[in-house]
Structure 1
């Protein structure tokens, strides 16, 4: 049996708390849109069954709940519930859950004011194996503006629609600020970028305040 354990999860909710995350007890970081980047895909075997983790590199909203000791990670591209993390005495952010046959622990250790080093570990409840992977959380942009994040390589054009001239490209995981949006003749949403070019929602995700 092939089983996929997906780390990234999502819930669309509003930002809570102040714009700057609390720095008490070693916690640090800016509230806003962050990017999660996993080191690699992890493959392991438990009792001759292949288990693996498929990491999804994607943006998320990072916010602090009232009181400054509970943090929320709201993924923007995949599906599932939000991740709520508590802050440990050493400043690390901790999340754990129990799912069928597995126990998961996520620990995010601050690395400066705009990054966390993340370790996610799954323990099989029968003790047969442990699967672990690491990622970086890095600050991307403010949630108060509209930004686009490219989930695949694609072209920027001088107007909304593929009938317009290519004026540049947008590489996978690249950020750019958007200042407007419009529909192409085929009904596809395009984002108007700060440099005057346009990019399709088929290659880029609008994040932050995109209520134009």
Structure 2
């Protein structure tokens, strides 16, 4: 089995996820490019390899048990362990609470929260084989309850779908950190900021590369690094 440092990035075929994979690859990591679309996943792998990144494709639909189990099996076969898991895959649209389409809300929760739990739990046996395992959940400052309830804080439009899933994800991150506090696994949430990606209709003010920086930093934390925290480029965010 390879001794090279191994990462899996979900939703890595484009946008912030791709840039996280590229950034880790530039540091010498071997990177699994998790994505459900075969064509886009393989195109991303080819692009990364052209940039001298040791990348390999991981077919992965975070909403599907069998797909996630197969992804864990693939990484088992390819590397035998996992050093960093970056739960980046996400989606959803804004919905005002009083007019929200329940199916749309449910789909956002399934991807942004349950998908993270599903993937994390499937990858934990591989992470436990690492000497310095790291988990990064890509969240959003929109999900901060502190900011949402602070007068004058900018937390985006009223939303009963996407934004609450990030609040939910933050809470899940805290609970994982509590359960894993006596292990060497560090788990944190990263806010990439308002980036120009498909999710924002490319209206964001930051580039995907800028948005990837915090996740890369958290994936490569030293052993005495934080766990159970919420961070952006400027430092720690309030939950």
Normalising TM by the smaller chain, what interval?
Answer: under 0.3
If the length of structure 1 is used for normalisation, what is the TM-score?
A: 0.28
TM-score, structure 2 as length reference: 0.26
Indicate the structure (1 or 2) with the bigger Cα radius of gyration.
Answer: 1
Structure whose residues are more often helix by fraction: 2
